[in-house]
Amino acid sequence: MGLAAYHRLTPMPTPLGPFYFYTKPGARGHADPRYALLAEGMEVQGRLLDLNPGVGLVSWTAAKKEAEVLAIEPSRAAFLALEKNADEAGFTARAGLPWEAPTYAFGTAALVLPAERGSRYTTLAVRAAARALMPGGRLWIAGEKKKGFDRYFKEAKSAIGYGQVVAREKGLRLAVLEKENHPELPELWRRFSEEIEGRHLVFRTLPGVFSEGRVDPASRMLLETLPRVEPGTPVLDLGAGYGALTLPLAARGARVTALEDDLASLRSLEASLMENHLEADVRHSDVDSALREEEKFAIVVTNPPFHVGGSVILDVAKAFVWAAHRHLETGGRFYLVANPFLKYEPLMEATFGNVRSVRTGRYKVLLSVR
Ligand code: SAH
């Protein structure tokens, strides 16, 4: 597999006739049984809002049954498949965050609990879904028992109204609630500040971002390892989050292009840049999907997303390495920081023909030269 294969959407035949459903390994909602349970178990009345659609199985299924559907998705990777499914099945797909949905506008809302994004984000998504409903509208939620389904369901009942669990399949649960109350949204934004390279930086964050409340120590180690950059040096930050790498680099005078898949992270990065009067070119991007082929950089930095457990490096992290190679100028340098147990060396060696460990300790910083 290479970068082109990473970006390719996979068409899957479906039981609902001569149609294809497009998906992508690694994207939210790909081959995820929570989505299948929700798509099959839900009944739609009125317009449907799908608030964690991923690649779009729930929206797709409802649209095929003639429902009017709006799907709002924050991940660019998922959105690229979702958009294609929206064209195919006839629903509307929008890039956005759950709490940006219109209020009092839908008869039905569907939500696969985004528990992997933390409890604050999940609670907000549930409330946002309820706020989008007209009084008496129904909210369908699907989730995993071992990922806190019972707790979120209980919380949802007290915030929204009557509800019941309608399906239990192995570890999965499906429940429906009826809107009696219009819940409030708590304050979304948080902030924290850190001293980095003798400079006081303020970060502003939305729920669900990586390393909220403090800069990740691996990111700090990467920053300490980087050589001085001449002002104006073009630097690419892959998976920029709220900007733990982008801000200090921009403060050093680098011309930073920051790519980020997740909209909550991207908005946090934009707000953080503003707050510190710094500038960067911020793009909503699935790996390098927002870069043109000919855009090249002198330095690429990343603290890539990973899966703990097992020896498998996530497809996305592999694609980061390939994208770094593709967008570095000759002689350009790629710095990656990771946990020592993650085996990036063979992949970087195979991609660049060289790799060296420039710092080790709690984390390791690897360098490949183009
Ligand atoms: N650079 C930041 C964030 C590192 S965590 C820091 O040092 O704090 C990795 C980041 O990669 C996350 O913000 C995650 O949302 C982002 N990411 C995950 N998949 C991605 C993809 N397909 N394309 C771009 N970014 C992605």
Q: What is the pLDDT of residues 232-276, one digit of tens each?
A: 999 999 999 999 999 999 999 999 999 999 999 999 999 999 999
Model confidence at 20, pLDDT cuts 50, 70, 90, reads confident
Give the distance (Å) from ligand 1 centre to CA of residue 302: 8
Q: Which of 121, 300, 316, 365 to mutate to test the pocket of ligand 1 (most atoms within 8 A of CB)?
A: 316
Over 219-253, what HEC string results?
HHHHHHHCCCCCCCCEEEEECCCCCCCHHHHHHCC
Angle CA 206–254–4, to nearest 5: 70
Closest by alpha carbon to 276, among 247, 255, 297?
247
Domain ranges of the chain: 3-178, 190-369
Alpha-carbon dihedral of residues 321, 327, 331, 337, nearest 10 degrees?
-30
Distance CA 166, CA 269 (A): 40
Rounded to 5°, angle at Cα 232 from 227 and 233: 45
Mean pLDDT estimate for the chain = 95
Least confident of 71-85, 194-208, 301-315: 301-315
Q: Are 174 and 212 in contact (CB under 8 A)?
A: no
Assigned fold of 3-178: Rossmann fold (3.40.50)
| Residue 324 predicted with pLDDT over 80 | yes
Candidates 3.40.50.450, 3.40.50.150, 3.40.50.720, 3.30.160.270; CATH matching 190-369: 3.40.50.150
Please determine whether the domains at 3-178 and 190-369 fall in the same fold group of CATH.
Answer: yes
Taking a C-beta distance cutoff of 8 angstroms, is the pair 333, 304 a contact? no
Query: Ligand 1 centre from 183 Cα, in Å?
Result: 31
Which residue has the least CA distance to atom 14 on ligand 1?
Answer: 239
Ligand 1 pocket at CB < 6 A: 77, 210-211, 216, 219, 239-241, 244-245, 259-262, 265, 285-287, 303, 305, 316
Write the residue with the smallest CA distance to atom 6 of ligand 1. Answer: 244
CA distance 77 to 80: 6
Dihedral angle over CA of 110, 54, 270, 365, nearest 10:
140
Per residue in 349-360, pLDDT tens?
A: 999 999 999 999
Q: What local confidence, expressed as pLDDT, does residue 309 receive?
A: 46
Question: Which atom, in ligand 1's list, is nearest to the CA of 26?
Answer: 22
Task: Retrieve residue 208's tokens.
Answer: 């669900």
**Given a cut of 80, is residue 221 above it in pLDDT?**
yes
From residue 20, alpha-carbon distances to 5, 57, 278 in Å are: 19, 11, 45
pLDDT tens, position by position, 107-155: 999 999 999 999 999 999 999 999 999 999 999 999 999 999 999 999 9
Quote the pTM value.
Answer: 0.96
Task: Read off the pLDDT band of 306 (50, 70, 90).
Answer: confident
The per-residue pLDDT for range 31-50, each reduced to its tens digit, is: 899 999 999 999 999 999 99
Residue nearest to atom 13 of ligand 1 (CA): 241
Tell me what pLDDT residue 103 has.
98
